[in-house]
A and B are shown apart, each in its own frame.
Chain A
Amino acid sequence: EDQVTQSPEALRLQEGESSSLNCSYTVSGLRGLFWYRQDPGKGPEFLFTLYSAGEEKEKERLKATLTKKESFLHITAPKPEDSATYLCAVQATRDTGRRALTFGSGTRLQVQP
Chain B
Amino acid sequence: GAVVSQHPSWVICKSGTSVKIECRSLDFQATTMFWYRQFPKQSLMLMATSNEGSKATYEQGVEKDKFLINHASLTLSTLTVTSAHPEDSSFYICSASLPRGLGDTQYFGPGTRLTVL
- From residue A62, how far is it (CB to closest CB) to chain B in Å? 16
Give Cα distance in the complex from A104 to B45, angstroms. 10
Is A31 a contact partner of B43 (Cβ separation < 8 A)?
no
* In the complex, B108 has a CB within 8 A of chain A: yes
Q: Quick one: closest A residue to B6, CB to CB?
A: A43
The smallest beta-carbon distance between B3 and chain A, in angstroms, is: 11
Q: How far is the CA of A41 from the CA of B38 in the complex (A)?
A: 10
Give A residues with C-beta under 8 Å from B: 31-32, 34, 36, 41-46, 49, 87, 91, 96, 98-101, 103-106
Q: Complex: how many Å from CA A103 to CA B42?
A: 10
Residue of B nearest to A34 (CB): B105
Q: Cβ of B110 and Cβ of A46 under 8 Å apart? A: no
Q: 3 nearest interchain CB pairs? A: A43-B108, A43-B111, A103-B43
B92-117 Cβ-contact flags toward A at 8 Å (1 or 0): 01010100000111111111010000
Q: A46-B107, A106-B43 are in contact. Are A98 and B57 (CB under 8 A)?
A: yes
Does B32 have its Cβ within 8 Å of any Cβ on chain A? yes
Against A, the Cβ 8 Å flags (1 = close, 0 = not) of B70-95 are 00000000000000000000010101
| A105 cross-chain contacts in B, Cβ below 8 A | 42-43
A12 to B45 CA separation, bound complex (whole angstroms): 26
**A91 lies within 8 A of B44 (CB):** no
- B49 on the A face (CB < 8 A): yes
Confirm or deny: B46 has a beta carbon within 8 angstroms of a beta carbon on chain A.
yes
A39 to B13, CA, bound (A): 25
Which residues from chain B contact A99 at a C-beta distance below 8 Å?
32, 49, 97, 104, 106
B55-78 vs A, Cβ < 8 Å mask (1 yes, 0 no)? 001000000000000000000000
Residues of chain A with a CB closer than 8 A to B34's CB: 100-101
Q: Are A43 and B49 in contact (CB under 8 A)?
A: no
- Once the chains are docked, how many angstroms separate the CA of A34 from the CA of B49? 18
Known: A42-B110, A46-B2. 15 other contacts (CB 8 A): A32-B105, A34-B105, A34-B106, A36-B108, A42-B111, A43-B6, A43-B95, A43-B111, A46-B108, A87-B43, A98-B32, A98-B49, A99-B49, A100-B46, A105-B43
